Amino acid sequence: MSEPLFEVRDVVKRYEKEGREITVLDKVNLSIGLGDFVVIVGATGSGKTTLINILSGLDKPDSGKVYFEGEDMTRMSEEELADLRRENMGFVFQHFNLIPEFTALENVESPLYPTKLSDREIRTRALKVLELVGMTHRVNHYPDELSGGEKQKIAIARALITNPVVIFADEPTAALDPQSEKEVIWLLREINRKRRTTIILATHNRALASSTDKVFELKNGKLVRVSGGRT
């Protein structure tokens, strides 16, 4: 078996809350391979976002180690982590986090603006991922003019434009109607299947997981493996 994409060892994360300390992640262990579709389920406040932030290097654990492609993320500088994120990771959020001043197309292109790529190349790539998510007909609309499901598809296209190896989707469907929810999850699976992009999906809705996924549950700071899928 090849080296895993993520390797999490005994990660502990505590927060100070109203004067007392709570342990959000209590010695969490996790291994994620390239091309996995990982679902992390847990009630609101169970620590899903905290775990994702630690996996993506946005936050650091109080103790324990996180390895990305064998490299120890807990020892990297903020700058190194920022580069790592930009080159390897895509993000999809519950509240879409589209930039209201940008059109759909510009939103998708925006991660590439501060790169050396030419305008034309950026445009070509954006149109390609917009086609993948089926949103080519809405490119010149502003986020305000789009439905929740459409916004999330634009957000997925934006996460894809950098060709990431992993996409973090933190409650991507919590603000959506059931139909859009289905479409978004289907889209994530398509991306996982077609591009072998690792998907890490955090949700409170256990029903979103399918039999082929690697499913984990966060409860009282502990991460428990629920079902295994392929590995």
Partner 1 sequence: MRRRILLTGIRIITRAKRRAIVFVILFTFISGLMLFSLNFVWDAHSTTLLVQSKGIILRPKGFTYVSYDENLEEKLARYDDVEKVVAVWFVNLSELEDLGVNAIMVAVNPDNKWCYVLSESFDLSPSSLREGDYIAREGEIMLSSANVLNISKNATVSLRPSSILKIGKYSFHVVGMLSEDKLPNGGMNWIIAHESDVKRICEKYGLQKYVFGYIVIVEGWLFSGWDNVERVGILLKNEYKDFEVIYASANDNYRLFSPMIVLFAFSVFGCLIVGALFSYLDIRLRKRSLAILRSLGWSTGNLRLLTLAELLFVTILGFFFGLLALAIYRLFTAQIYVPLSVYTVLISFVVIMVSTQVPGGYLYQRSITKVKPVDALRLIER
Ligand X SMILES: Nc1ncnc2c1ncn2[C@@H]1O[C@H](COP(=O)(O)OP(=O)(O)O)[C@@H](O)[C@H]1O
d(CA 55, CA 171): 16
According to the binding rule CB under 6 A, does residue 205 interact with ligand X? no
> Which one of 13-21, 93-101, 178-186, 210-218 is the stretch in contact with partner 1 (CB under 8 A)?
93-101
Cβ nearer to partner 1, comparing 68 with 214: 68
Convert residues 41-80 into a mask of x (bound to ligand X by CB under 6 A) and - (unbound). -x-xxxxxxx------------------------------
Strand partners, 225: 216
d(CA 34, CA 51): 18
> Which one of 18-26, 43-51, 121-129, 203-211 is the stretch in contact with Mg ion (CB under 5 A)?
43-51
Cβ nearer to Mg ion, comparing 124 with 205: 205
Write the DSSP assignment of 100-132 as a string of letters: TTS-HHHHHHGGGTTSS--HHHHHHHHHHHHHH
Q: Are the C-beta atoms of 99 and 110 separated by less than 8 Å?
A: yes
The values of phi and psi at residue 48, to 5°, are -65, -50
Q: How many whole angstroms from its chain centre is CA 62?
A: 22
> Which one of 2-10, 13-21, 89-97, 188-196 is the stretch in contact with partner 1 (CB under 8 A)?
89-97
Q: How many whole angstroms from its chain centre is CA 77?
A: 21
Cα-only R_g, the chain: 18
Give the binding-site size for partner 1 (rule: CB under 8 A): 27
How far apart are CB 17 and ligand X at their closest, in Å? Answer: 5
Give the number of other Cβ atoms within 10 Å of residue 139's Cβ.
Answer: 17
Span 154-173, contacts to partner 1 by CB under 8 A? 158, 162
Cβ nearer to ligand X, comparing 109 with 217: 217
How far apart are CB 42 and partner 1 at their closest, in Å? Answer: 16
- Residues whose CB falls within 8 Å of the CB of residue 53, separated by 6 or more in sequence, listed in order: 59
Give the binding site for ligand X (CB under 6 A): 15, 17, 24, 42, 44-50
Give the binding site for partner 1 (CB under 8 A): 49, 53, 58-59, 82, 85-86, 91, 93-95, 97-102, 106, 110-111, 113-116, 119, 158, 162
